Amino acid sequence: MIRRLLIVNRGEIALRVVRAARELGMCSIVAHSEADADSLAVQRADETVCIGPPQATKSYLNIETILQAAKDVAADAVHPGYGFLSESAEFARAVKAAGMMFVGPEAAIIERMGDKAMARQTAIEAEVPVVPGSPRAVNDLDEALNVAESVGFPRLIKAAAGGGGRGIRVAENAAALCEQLPMAQTEARTAFGDDRVYLERFIEHARHIEVQILGDGERAIHLFERECSLQRRRQKVFEECPSPALDDTTRESLCRSAVALAEHVGYFGAGTLEYLYDDITGEFFFIEMNTRIQVEHPITEAVTGVDLVREMLRLARGERLRFAQQDIQRRGWAVEMRINAEDPERGFFPSPGQVQRLVWPSGPGIRIDSGLYEGYRMPPFYDSLVAKLIVWDECRESALIRAGRALDEFILDGFATTAALHRRLVDDAEVRRGVVDTGFLERWLEAKPTPTPSDKEVVS
């Protein structure tokens, strides 16, 4: 049994786990930095413990300090949320060694599936399609050139230990590969402490589609897919469930492949398998697995009715997977808009500040995941995500219309956000038709720059 759950994260995901824990009768204990002492998650938790100064390396990433805090509060289990230590095999192993449950997969699975090159090889073993490229990390430039010669250009150079869109470069030809490979290795070493890279075929107009799974170590199920193609600098901005690109046959094949891979590794907990989908050929290719809950999980919950965070906690306390695959049904359409404290009019420059006025949209099919409240001051030390606006309706067209209405009602005074960008996106004709790929948003931003104050209509 889990009686006392330590939540090692911040912002909306910490609050999300607090609520799920309370519904299951668990005592929620939020571990927070000094900068987050007045956060909504801290206010809503049953108990709290400070784990250090604002710098993440001295608090949310400090394994030794976190384990001592867990011991001090007599925690039975640790939920890492997303980001920070959520995909750290070292942390998962240390939590277990300290006699607590880690809410997530075993450290060995995090290592295997968190390493992009190893995950690729594992997918091949499970007969899941992967993007043509090097079967494993390349050792040197000669090996990289041989792989590229056999498969062709353009190639993606990807960090084996990478994630979050970092450590990725495109090589259009052999000369570019010679130039980019050492740079990619240096970047990977700096960002991840691991300079291994591997190569993949570059699919120019690919969609980014991911499949949500749950597993209990023996059996796994899928909860359908999410479309995450609207990205800026390889960071997701807008997601929807299901994908507008897939027909039923392709969807079934894609989701079954995700279950096959999850069962192949004996996956435990909630996880997401990410794919590239080629609109031209209709092919899909596994690219990586996230061994944690995803930022965009609420749209899957909206469409399937399954509380993913609560299921993670049920599995962690020893329950078996409660659902058979046929129990999981889709109903309607959901979209998620990530609202960041960034100013699109200033090149998406971070704009932390204090919330002076806050009005959330309301009505059927609208959900807000956020830690904001009036008077709250955004700390400048962490990710710029301040809210997730999740909208559900019976079909995609209705969901986008409702999203526009919700954005019209949303008011936040005190600092700039990306809400206005989303308002423009949901009205865009191509977005309405679902004709997007991973490069769409950046092309769209270049072609339709954010209006400056002088360009906007002035109402006197």
pLDDT at 450: 66
420 and 282 share a domain?
yes
Task: Note the helical H segments in 11-106.
Answer: 11-23, 40-44, 63-72, 89-97
Distance CA 372, CA 15 (A): 11
Quick check: is 135 in a domain? no
pLDDT for the residue 216: 98
Q: Are 119 and 112 in contact (CB under 8 A)?
A: yes
State whether 175 and 224 are in the same domain.
Answer: no
Question: Are residues 409 and 324 located together in one domain of the fold?
Answer: yes
Q: What is the pLDDT of residue 21?
A: 98
CATH number at residue 76: 3.40.50.20
Domain C-terminal end among 201, 228, 247: 201
Domain-terminating residue out of 45, 80, 103? 103
Are residues 240 and 352 located together in one domain of the fold?
Answer: yes
Instruction: Let me know whether 221 and 181 are in one domain.
Output: no
Domain count for the chain: 3
Residue 217: which CATH number? 3.30.470.20
Q: For residue 109, which amino acid is it?
A: I
Residue 449 or residue 37, greater confidence = 37
Residue 44 lies in a domain: yes
298, 336: one domain: yes
Query: Which residues, in sequence order, are CB contacts of 199 under 8 Å at separation 6+?
Result: 133, 134, 138, 144, 147, 148, 151, 155, 156, 157, 158
Does the pLDDT of residue 263 top 50, yes or no? Answer: yes
CATH number assigned to the domain comprising residue 152: 3.30.1490.20
For range 196-215, the mean pLDDT: 92
Asked whether the predicted pLDDT for residue 457 surpasses 50, the reply is no
Instruction: Give yes or no for residue 381 having a pLDDT over 60.
Output: yes
Put the strands of the sheet holding 101-102 in their side by side order.
47-50, 27-32, 4-8, 77-79, 101-102
Q: Using a pLDDT cut of 90, give the percent of the chain over it.
A: 82
Query: Could you tell me what percent of the chain has a pLDDT over 70?
Result: 97
Q: Is 185 inside any structural domain?
A: yes
Residue 325 lies in a domain: yes
Rg (CA), the chain: 22
pLDDT tens for each residue of 119-138: 999 999 999 999 888 878 88
- Domain identity same for 272 and 416: yes
Q: Which pLDDT tens digit goes with each residue over 53-101?
A: 999 999 999 999 999 999 999 999 999 999 999 999 999 999 999 999 9
The whole-model pTM stands at: 0.91
Task: Flag whether 176 is in a domain.
Answer: yes
The verdict on 184 and 217 lying in the same domain is: no
Say yes or no to pLDDT of 198 above 60.
yes
User: Which whole number is the average pLDDT over 102-107?
Assistant: 98
d(CA 414, CA 354): 5
Query: Are 68 and 185 found together in one domain?
Result: no
Give the domain extent around 359.
206-459
Say whether both 268 and 370 belong to one domain: yes
Choosing from 181, 201, 221, the residue where a domain stops is 201
By annotation, the residues acting in catalysis are 292
pLDDT digits (tens, 9 = 90+) for 106-119: 999 999 998 888 99
Q: Return mean pLDDT, the chain.
A: 94
Q: Indicate the pairing of strand 197-201 with strand 155-159.
A: antiparallel
In-domain check, residue 366:
yes
Query: Residue 130: inside a domain, yes or no?
Result: no
Classify residue 408: in a domain, yes or no: yes
Whether cis (ω within 30° of 0) applies to the bond prior to 154 is: yes
pLDDT value at position 452?
55
Same domain, 218 and 145: no
**Same domain for 188 and 282?**
no
